[in-house]
Amino acid sequence: SQTIHQWPATLVQPVGSPLSLECTVEGTSNPNLYWYRQAAGRGLQLLFYSVGIGQISSEVPQNLSASRPQDRQFILSSKKLLLSDSGFYLCAWSVSDRGSGYTFGSGTRLTVV
């Protein structure tokens, strides 16, 4: 069966420090991968999505970047965190099928102090 792993669960980082959040999927090949952020009262914001290795689409300009070095690995990074980067980050995967929906990871709570 397919599973998705996201870590760490919580993270407290100082302003200006780097960030690396990792997401891996097991049990499937060539998944579509997504990074979302939830800030308080702002719903789900799609940050990046990827349909293949090295293929990254950015939805909004921001202080973050994403990479997909392997088929089932998706990494969210920042060189210098801002206070506004605080939030709940979710990774998700899907197949290229309209009816499949997404499977989400358990999320990372990031607090920038």
Residues that bind other proteins (CB under 8 A): 6, 32, 43-44, 49, 51, 57, 88, 90, 92, 94-107, 109
**How near is the Cβ of 107 to other proteins at its closest, in Å?**
5
> Measured from the CB atom, is 18 or 59 closer to other proteins?
59
Three-state SS at 71: coil
Q: Which residues contact 10 (CB under 8 A, 6 or more apart)?
A: 108, 109, 110, 111
> Measured from the CB atom, is 69 or 99 closer to other proteins?
99
As given in the structure block, the two tokens for residue 81 are 């965190």
> Measured from the CB atom, is 75 or 90 closer to other proteins?
90
Other beta carbons within 10 angstroms of residue 55's beta carbon come to 11
Three-state SS at 51: strand
**How near is the Cβ of 17 to other proteins at its closest, in Å?**
22
